[in-house]
Amino acid sequence: MGDTLRQQQFAFAAHLRDPARQPAPTGIEDRRLAIYRDLFYNNIEGLLAGNFPVIRKTLGDARWHALVRDFYAHHRSRTPLFTEIAREFIRYCEHACQADAQRDDLPPWLTELAHYEWVELALQISDAATPPHDADGDLLDGIPVVSPHAWALAYRWPVPRIAPDYQPGTPPDAATLVLVRRDRTLQVRFAEISPLVYRLLELLGAGASSGRDVLLQLAGEAGADDADAFMAQGAAMLERMRAEDTLLGTRPA
């Protein structure tokens, strides 16, 4: 009896995940099965559509539902948490869009756009601990502390601009650099940034040097002609980053 029940459960689950290829278990009216098929799929599809609205709109109905059904049928999630379904979808896209397994029905920018859309949810629910800091510390003489809820991201594809009427076939020469941050009002903000600002955040994120030393290193790397002007502009940038909650302040003495 136990083996039979187990077999029925596996058959039932397999059919719900992939009804087109997996036969329904015997002895269950198809009308009843249809209720479960629709309920389970619609829950997953609705969750993904809410997390990835740009992908949903850009792919259109047919391609979107084909993508979700394939994810639902074949991806084996590492976690049962609903808040992690979006991350599981990214893992699915990463596998489906690997260079040696690139599917003709999937755009090459899919994985990066999925990550770009997921970041908002990830920051909204992030419970990363706020490191000790002096909110009013001197950003030049002290060591600036970058918020754990401020992420500088680099993408090969211009993900902020991808839409139904703009679906590039090849990536541009320059990377798309984005700062995504959660401010003190718990709002997630997106902004495209320059390579110089991206490098500044990269150096600050190391957390090993004062703001002044970081700006001096950046001035050298950038080949700044007027070091004093560069330092003044850099100091103003650090203050803006603190006002916008990208920087929390400085490391306590």
Measured CA to CA, the distance from residue 27 to residue 8 in angstroms comes to 10
What SS3 class is residue 170? Answer: coil
Measured CA to CA, the distance from residue 247 to residue 131 in angstroms comes to 11
Among 170, 145, 136, CA closest to 156: 170
How many Cβ atoms from other residues are within 10 Å of residue 236's Cβ?
A: 10
User: Is the pLDDT confidence value at 1 over 50?
Assistant: no
Among 95, 114, 99, 195, CA closest to 157: 114
What was the pLDDT predicted at 38? 79
What was the pLDDT predicted at 87? 93
What was the pLDDT predicted at 83? 83
Instruction: Give the global pTM.
Output: 0.87
The H or E element spanning position 190 is strand 188-192
Measured CA to CA, the distance from residue 99 to residue 5 in angstroms comes to 42
Q: Per mean pLDDT, which range of 88-102, 124-138, 146-160, 167-181 is the poorest?
A: 88-102
Domain ranges across the chain:
2-125, 144-250
Structure tokens at 101: 């397994």
Task: Confirm if 103 and 97 have CB atoms less than 8 A apart.
Answer: yes
Cβ partners under 8 Å of residue 130, min gap 6: 147, 148, 248
Q: Give per-residue pLDDT as tens, 215-233.
A: 999 999 999 889 889 999 9
Going from the C-alpha of 208 to that of each of 18, 55, 123, 143, 146, the distances in angstroms are: 52, 39, 25, 7, 12
Q: Give per-residue pLDDT as tens, 153-172.
A: 999 999 999 999 999 999 99
Among 123, 122, 127, 58, CA closest to 90: 122
Residue in this structure with the two tokens 């419970």, named with its chain if needed: 127
What was the pLDDT predicted at 205? 94
User: Is the pLDDT confidence value at 237 over 90?
Assistant: yes
Q: Give per-residue pLDDT as tens, 93-107.
A: 988 876 555 566 789
Cβ partners under 8 Å of residue 27, min gap 6: none
Q: Which of these CATH numbers, 3.30.420, 3.90.930, 1.10.10, 3.40.1710, describes 144-250?
A: 3.90.930
Q: Give per-residue pLDDT as tens, 35-57.
A: 777 788 888 999 999 999 999 99
